[in-house]
Amino acid sequence: MALDRIGFLLKHAYLAYEGLAAEKYEAIGATARECGVLAQIQEVVGGSQLELAAELGVDRTTMAQLLETLEQRGLVSRVPLSTDRRKNVVSLTTDGHELLARDRSVREEMDREFLSPIDPRDRAAFRTALHAIIDNRSGSLGTR
């Protein structure tokens, strides 16, 4: 039965999640990707633009474009490193911190809504299973 194939199920679950994310993030004037970048900046205080790109698994050009957009919106600042002016240290602005606070609420709401069809006792097992799949494949995918 084609509709029971793992690839089909994962694809359509992902599409459902992406649709929900687009709707919820539009309400706060951001995208899930932008908030993911902001969260990584908060996680790695004093990190450079190149370090962020490596951590997030994106190329330098894409990271520069993402940060340019975030900087134009007043969510991040980039300052050349005093010891190496070729590197930019990226940090959150007050507006960036405020957006991340709204992001947390959005993610919690999305998780509740998206996982609502799953029995509450099974939600932790679902996350654990997803982590196991990702961890198992991460070596061959070059992530982490």
pLDDT at 39: 94
pLDDT at 4: 84
* Single-letter amino acid code for the residue at 73: R
Q: Is residue 66 exposed (0-12), middle (13-18) or buried (19+ Cβ within 10 Å)? A: buried
pLDDT at 139: 55
Q: Kindly list the averaged pLDDT for each block of 10 residues, start to end, along the chain of length 144.
A: 85 94 92 93 87 89 94 94 80 95 93 94 92 79 42
102/53 Cα distance (integer angstroms): 24
pLDDT at 25: 94
14-138 adopts what CATH topology? Arc Repressor Mutant, subunit A (1.10.10)
